[in-house]
Amino acid sequence: MIRKILIRCAFLVAMLIETAPASASDISEIVADIAAIRSDSGMASAWLVMVEGETTLIDQGFGIRSWDDPRPVSDSDYYRLGSISKAFTGLALLKAEESGCLRLDALVDELVTTPQLTNPWAGSRPVTLAMLMEQTSGWHDMSWFEFKYNEPVTLESALALRPDSRISLWPPGLHHSYNSSGPGMAAWVLEQACDRDFEQFAREQVFEPMGMSSATYRKTDAVRHRLVGGYDRDPKQAIRYWNFLYRPSGALNLQAGEMAGFLKTMIQRGRLNGNALFSVAQIERMERPTTTLAARAGMRHGYGLGVYSAIEDGRRYFAHGGDADGYLTRFGYSPESGRGFFIVITMFDHGRLRQMRQLLERWVIAPVPRTNAPTDLPTYHPSGRDLQRLVGQYRRATTRFPRDGWNSESMQIRRRDSRLEYRIGDSGHGHGWKPLIPIGPELFRRPSDPLATVFIGESDGRIHVSGEIGNWVRVTYAAPGN
């Protein structure tokens, strides 16, 4: 107990400690709290995995298989991962690049003869394979028809169903805009370029080496007989199996405890059980965006190859979530703390998942020194003229789901002494003014952020904004004094 108190005091005072082993009492409290949240919500089941370094601390299920099958969940049961599937597609592409059959920076048109995409800016901004994975191709997300399509088909057939959802609506290579079509097409490109079935390739090169032998994108006999029930917001309203159209983007099924192998591999920079499954460079590429304006300006924060750089309480970790119609999921890990988690619930209740996530995220980042922004971070001192050229009124530049008027929402940026301030919404409405602190010629952060999370700079003769406050393009310049 004394040692625990001393460790906490050292962390709070010095902020310079080595990673401390997880406290058994802290973990027990987290497990108890998650069990209580599940029970209080009425959800049928949940599964939790917590790892530290090479050790699995928790691999535990809660609840029952379904309301029709009230047996306790077991480690042989299957859960659905939803969009967490994208991370494994990213790892598979890195393995394909390692084998020499494709390059992430290659133009999609060079890898396949029938790319089934439309890009009005193909001459100046062609789509690369990396853009498909980082979701910077200028596409909105899948159409309603594609989301509701519930038949298992090949990737080629899936891409042929609604090609008009893969028209670049804004120039590729500017902003990240979340979609599931991009990783789906990237997996199909792998099939064509490497002359291999994607799912078999992923099994051999990714899942089996990480000890994830149960992982499958399909409704196999094992999944059919061992899948736990998934439910809607009403925890008793069952949802039927969803044959996600682009399986590499969202259809993965597995025995949840096997996620420990993935978490350990990412935390240990590609190593698992003493074996180098991936290089350090490959793991860092998973976590780093490269194809946006912000990335080219030096911003490390953002969406990589199926892994997102997240911030909690002024500290960075890596994460992704998923929604598989009846199942909500989340993983998170920190190489600095050596900790990671995976959680899945069988109920469409983001509020309950958020409660669980917050417990786990705080645990993951707890040993990481907190950056006391702004005094502990390097500060860039732009001239007033440099700041003034960025002020004005902006409009939305991207959308996940198109709707009438989606690009009419506005944001204002003004200069306030030696920094910028922004406000989303029309004058007199929306949020209040919030500060942006400059840390580079085109890079800014919010006061609580430990690194640059906002880019504001020029491309193609226009001023663009991207990052944690969204993607925007300037439409009106505000002169000094306005």
Read off the pLDDT of residues 426-482 as tens digits, 9 standing for 90 and up.
654 445 899 999 999 999 999 889 999 999 999 989 999 999 999 999 998 876 554
139 C-beta neighbours (distance < 10 Å), count: 29
Give dist(CA 212, CA 204) in Å, integer.
10
Read off the pLDDT of residues 97-121 as tens digits, 9 standing for 90 and up.
999 999 999 999 888 887 789 999 9
Does residue 9 have a pLDDT over 50?
no
Which CATH number describes the domain made up of 20-369? 3.40.710.10
Give dist(CA 356, CA 70) in Å, integer.
23
Read off the pLDDT of residues 335-380 as tens digits, 9 standing for 90 and up.
999 999 999 999 999 999 999 999 999 999 999 987 655 555 567 8
Give dist(CA 376, CA 450) in Å, integer.
9
Give dist(CA 384, CA 388) in Å, integer.
6
pLDDT for 19: 41
Lowest mean pLDDT among 31-40, 123-132, 175-184, 381-390: 381-390
Nearest to 344 by CA among 46, 44, 8, 86: 46
Residues near 128 by Cβ (< 8 Å), separated by ≥ 6? 104, 105, 106, 107, 108, 173, 291
The stretch 195-213 carries a mean pLDDT of: 97
Sequence ranges of the domains in the chain: 20-369, 384-476
Give the mean pLDDT of the chain. 91
Instruction: Judge contact between 254 and 79, C-beta under 8 A.
Output: yes
Does residue 414 have a pLDDT over 60?
yes
Nearest to 419 by CA among 440, 443, 436: 436
- Secondary structure E strands in 53-149: 55-63, 79-80
Which CATH number describes the domain made up of 384-476? 2.40.128
Residues near 236 by Cβ (< 8 Å), separated by ≥ 6? 42, 67
Buried b (16+ CB within 10 A) or exposed e, 269-299: ebbbeeeebbeeebbebbbbbbbbbbbebeb
pLDDT for 426: 65
